[in-house]
Structure 1
Amino acid sequence: MTIGPIELEIIRHRLEAINADAGETLVRVSGSQIASEASDFNTAIMTADGTVISCSKFILVQSTSLNLIVRDILDRYGENPGIGRGDQFLTNDPYLGTLHQPDVTLVAPIFHGDRLIAWAGSTVHEPDVGGPVSGGFNYAARSIFDEAIPIPPVKIVEAGSVRRDIERDYLARTRTPELNALDLLGQIAANRASERQVLELCAAYGTDGLVHAMDRLLASTEAAFRRRLIELPDGIWRENSFIQHEQRSGADYLPNQVYAVRLAMAKAGDKLSFDFTASDDQAPGAVNSTYPTLANFTMAAVLVHICQGLPWMPGAIWRTIDIHTRKASIVDAEWPAGVAMSTGTSAQAIRNCVSGCLARLLDGSAAHAHMAMASSQSSGAGGMSISGHRRDGTPFTTLFLDELSGGGGATVRADGSDTSGTATSPGATPSNLETNEAYYPVLYLTRRELADSGGPGMRRGGVGAMHAYRPHQTDRSIALLSMAQGLQHPATMGAAGGEPGLPSGFAIMSCDVPVAVSSGWAELADATDFRLPDAATRLYPDQILVTSSQGGGGFGDPLERDPAAVAMDVLDGLVSVGNALRDFGVVLRLDGDQVEIDRDASEAARKARLKVRLGGRDPRTIEGPVSGRRLSSHFRAVAVSGGEQVVCAVCGHGICDAGEDIYASLAVHEAVAGERSAITDRYPGSERFRIRHFYCPGCARQVDVQVALSGDPVLEAIELPFPRNPTETRP
């Protein structure tokens, strides 16, 4: 059968539908709360050599580099133990291809006759995979030998039958064998469903036709992505992100040390390059990322930010991307470094860096600036492995993903989605709290949106949420292991001058604190002694755990937000009246259930704020938009005598000569990390961080916001090439 353009699109959409069906099959068969409620899983279809041609959109980062696992199986197992029809291989090895040990992957070859034509695969986060600590995370790990020992690929299904010896070995490692067994059955059924439907495509289009169609889909998507890259400006963009963990040197132990992930992203023609080599050395514990984790989080961010309107086909996009890294670093750990906590720590810092650089890249394109998006929520304290014993003495352990209630990033056209979760996990969600209560001995007191947590901007970042629960129907304490990043500084960055989202929060309080009726952290700040979670953190029956997820980053200068939009946010409970003035320079008055805008007072407040930005100097009068070559929302390149000059896109003020460091010529204000938070500065270590606000020296427009370590040099976040013979002339 001839495969034309129409048939090709049918096959592409059919592959996406097969993945969706596989996910539904997995959830129905498994019944595990993590899979069925939180959707902490993903499925994928690969070509015969393991190239990922289609993946579901639940946890993107779990499937974009499954090719590494399949490639290892093809290279090592062809003769012994062999790869045959009906086989399925299980692994949770993060040094090979998974994110961390709790993510268990199952891949299955698909044969038509004796011919290997494709692979199906799925990954599920398991509640426990063994090791010295319930849940698989160990704060005190010095190496991977203090965590669950990874399982290399093993043939757990052979010729359609489960290998009971291998299954027994796998389940003997875990404290939750019943749930893990359910997930395994769900993954087996999902892969079989994918196999059946792929073979139906063979029947419809012929085996050669389907294989050829998959090759054409990869080639056409690669070509489309290269065309998009060519449409984007060349240059180098930089972003830094930070995590905290302990540090050891010999017998010395230093708690709460900072590790930096540093990215320089270069775009030239139709190629993207991600250089992480300046990132810090690997940590002595569980927060390191392996190369597969680095690759997965990088690719997922690329798909979400740049591939709007294009097929999300990782195998095609990988052909255009280079990743440069350094072994034994926090982003590319060397065996036997501990890595079990990577997904909520260093991996989130990787994603934040990639998202920030891609937002800057897109913002520099007149045609694609509408796609630029601030960072969505990052990992926070609500990502929680809990374990203990019920009243009858039976043990339990699971993962609560309350952190997935964080806010989405704003764009130039729209506010970020409230409590929408992580952009690179578009299908994931916190479990229904009633499900958590039914399965585990906890009682939720509140789960609600958290006002003022979204990053201020011309477009506001989505708000995060606050959660609180206590032990219930148990007389024993509950062990808590929180990812707990983003407590000491904002970790969800804004774009184009937008502010970061509010940092995360974590506190254990007495049961008599009225958490359920409080308006947020400002009312609770004096009700407890704020401490960072550690390996000994426990929640006792007379205590409440309170956490909050991070808001999404804002887009653009907050003083340019429409006052009517601020008033609507106040009516919706997303912004408080006091912070409408603090964050947006808008004066509001409440009259019953109505909000009145004092426009004269708001205009005066905004003018005063602009003057403060320039150290008391009056800002330059804005006469109209400035023509010139677009460099970003805020900068244009115009021709002047002898070359080009970078000018403000609003007021035309000359910033610097072409090729010079733009940031060295901007007005800058440095604030403490907790400038908008009632609790951030109460966490030990927060004093090390600063928020740097950059303004046009002419009109005082806010053009960028960066989080940095105190004393670090200003980051040159945009470095652009300039033509020798500029054609634009300054008006």
Structure 2
Amino acid sequence: MSAPDLTAEILRGALRAAAEEASIVVVRSAYSTFIVEGADAAAAILDANGRLVAHSLSTAIVQCASLRSALPYVLDAYPPAGMRPGDVFCSNDVYQGGVHANDLLVFRPVFAGGRPAYFTGTLIHVADLSGLSAGGMAGDATDVFLEGLQLPPVRIATAAGWDEGLIRVLAANSRTPDRLLGDLRALVAGVNVAARRVEALAADRDLAAGIDGYLAHTEARMREEFARLPRGTYTGEYAVEDGDERRRVRVAVTVRDDGVLVDFAGTDPQVARPVNSGFSQTLGGVMYALRCFVDPALPMNEGCFAPVEVRMPEGSLVNCTKPYPGGGRWATVAAAEEAVFAALTRALPGSGAAASAILQAFSISGATRPWLHMAFELGGMGARYGRDGPDATGALFGGGRNIIPQAEPIEARLPVRIEEVALIPDSGGRGRWRGGLGTRTVIRVLEDALVDTRGDRLRDPPAGAEGGGPGRAGGYFRERPDGTREPLPPKATRSPLRAGEALVVETSGGGGYGDPAERDPDAVARDLREGRVTR
């Protein structure tokens, strides 16, 4: 490695470490159980031009895309010339680069040469922020206002302290104000720590030139990777479940000499249901899907975005407009990813994969007093040529580092008992290569509670590929004390659970790949021995 390359790598590592430290500060300072125990926090460093410079290991690509997409709206609302050291800004507007109401994005400018030159950003799913559902997962929201309090870019703090009026408004719109404000303070602590690290780096070296250099290097490498793909236009599609309806995401991927065009023309229009996606989330899904076809060692920064053009028709499932809801975006983002996978598989036969399960989100909240458990479970990944699908990995999670919280801390904090977390035998699709297994989780409530569900690929389980079978469908269930079960809707709000009853979450298995008759007998014997399949 040459001296310039070594310097660039050291600089990239220092900036990534600053973002990672910010995410750790957020997790350790947060009040919400899912953040503290699940490490669900994102942090990034950007420049004043809105370019993504570095991010934490915990940051999923959809979160990178949101932080990157939202910053220009902050700069429009608060021009840099009027910013002062210590200013902190916040937003959650899905139409201005946000995710949904409960995902707060916080930014702080970092000054160099007397002007804002960089920004540090953090993002987490905060405790309750109004809306139909505690935790922000209203499965029956017909407009964005039912999903929670909407925040355009606002200044929440200066060097003198918090904007107390705004803080009171936020607290008044939460069922759990102490947890909300604790989470918000954690977000601000994260951007403050990262800002100090970036200030120190800028003081010691020509930071701008170093960043320009390694972003340009990433862009050049990304273009080299795309140059290996056959030129042409390739199409794909995937369906999203919306009650009895199927909403389709359609894509055309054009591989050009200078990069890739991803066009969602023909995708179904947005609907007054929480299945739409904001543009930043769809962009993140596209970047995740494309990165599955390039060198995984490439760092995720602005250089990855530069060779990619994404067209998302306004008013469609992949780019909702006000007042259509965007909180249930994940199924549509995953459908966009599957559509891109299908398109590029046509460009590279033998490189594709069967469909995967996606995360099944849910929340359990107190019916008579305020408490909240937000979580998700992960299904099986689709098999691909030469490989079985991994079990319970959430293939389409978006590339971040997140964990399912352990049972003991949840039981210590909340009136629930986690009775089972297990793989489901026979849930992976049959094939020459088997789909990954789904999971079963049983959570019994010790006092009356309300449940919100938001799942997909439950009525139409992940399909197999090249002759492989589909995965087993998952679902949500209410289990009575006598053991009888009844299904809950895949997208429902405030379903009652009585004390002593349990919520059962079963995730779908991934699709299989290839003719099941061609499966290696040794692999079948191993599956039987390990309990992944039954006789």
Report the CA distance shift for 1:152/1:429 in structure 2 as closer, same or farther (over 3 A): same
Selected match of 2:339 from 336, 353, 366: 353
CA distance in 2, matches of 1:44, 1:103: 15
Q: Which consecutive unaligned segments of at least 5 residues does structure 2 have?
A: none
Selected match of 2:432 from 458, 464, 478: 458
Which deviates further from its counterpart, 94-103 or 416-425? 416-425
Q: Equivalent residue for 1:98?
A: 98
Q: CA deviation at 1:489?
A: 0.7
Selected match of 2:504 from 539, 542, 546: 546
Q: Equivalent residue for 1:387?
A: 365
1:136 aligned counterpart, secondary structure: coil
Q: TM-score normalised to the size of structure 2?
A: 0.92
* Higher gyration radius (CA): 1
* AA matched with 1:431: P
Q: Equivalent residue for 1:517?
A: none
Q: CA deviation at 1:304?
A: 4.4
1:306 aligned counterpart, secondary structure: coil
CA distance in 2, matches of 1:430, 1:483: 17
1:45 aligned counterpart, secondary structure: strand
Is contact 1:359–1:374 with CA below 8 Å preserved after alignment?
Answer: no
1:192 aligned counterpart, secondary structure: helix
2:193 aligned counterpart, secondary structure: helix
Q: Equivalences for 1:623-662 in 2 at 5 Å?
A: none
CA distance in 1, matches of 2:383, 2:400: 15
CA distance in 2, matches of 1:40, 1:19: 14
Q: Equivalent residue for 1:21?
A: 21
Is contact 1:245–1:283 with CA below 8 Å preserved after alignment?
Answer: no
Q: Equivalent residue for 1:420?
A: 393
Q: Which consecutive unaligned segments of at least 5 residues does structure 1 have?
A: 247-255, 514-526, 578-731
* AA matched with 1:415: D
Report the CA distance shift for 1:39/1:79 in structure 2 as closer, same or farther (over 3 A): closer
- Number of residue-to-residue matches in the alignment: 531
Selected match of 2:357 from 368, 377, 383: 377
Q: Equivalent residue for 1:688?
A: none
CA distance in 2, matches of 1:191, 1:147: 26
Q: CA deviation at 1:225?
A: 0.6
The answer as to 2:129 corresponding to 1:143 is no
Q: Equivalent residue for 2:300?
A: 312
Q: Equivalent residue for 1:444?
A: 418
Selected match of 2:233 from 236, 248, 251: 236
2:262 aligned counterpart, secondary structure: strand
Q: Equivalent residue for 1:647?
A: none
1:134 aligned counterpart, secondary structure: coil
Identity %: 30
Using CA pairs under 8 Å that are at least 6 residues apart, name the structure with larger relative contact order, 1 or 2: 2
CA distance in 2, matches of 1:55, 1:198: 13
Is contact 1:227–1:270 with CA below 8 Å preserved after alignment?
Answer: no
Q: Equivalent residue for 1:68?
A: 69
Q: Equivalent residue for 1:34?
A: 34
The answer as to 2:227 corresponding to 1:227 is no
The answer as to 2:209 corresponding to 1:212 is yes
Deviations 1:118-141 (A, max 9, x none): 111111012311123322233333
* AA matched with 1:311: P
* AA matched with 2:392: T
2:94 aligned counterpart, secondary structure: coil
Selected match of 1:508 from 478, 482, 485: 478
Report the CA distance shift for 1:497/1:443 in structure 2 as closer, same or farther (over 3 A): same
Report the CA distance shift for 1:41/1:495 in structure 2 as closer, same or farther (over 3 A): farther
Report the CA distance shift for 1:160/1:418 in structure 2 as closer, same or farther (over 3 A): farther
* AA matched with 1:439: R
The answer as to 2:384 corresponding to 1:397 is no
The answer as to 2:280 corresponding to 1:322 is no
Report the CA distance shift for 1:259/1:75 in structure 2 as closer, same or farther (over 3 A): same
1:267 aligned counterpart, secondary structure: strand
CA distance in 1, matches of 2:303, 2:160: 31
CA distance in 2, matches of 1:444, 1:479: 16
* AA matched with 2:270: Q
Is contact 1:62–1:98 with CA below 8 Å preserved after alignment?
Answer: no
Deviations 1:310-359 (A, max 9, x none): 1122x22222112223222222112111222223x323322332344345
CA distance in 2, matches of 1:536, 1:163: 33
CA distance in 1, matches of 2:51, 2:189: 22
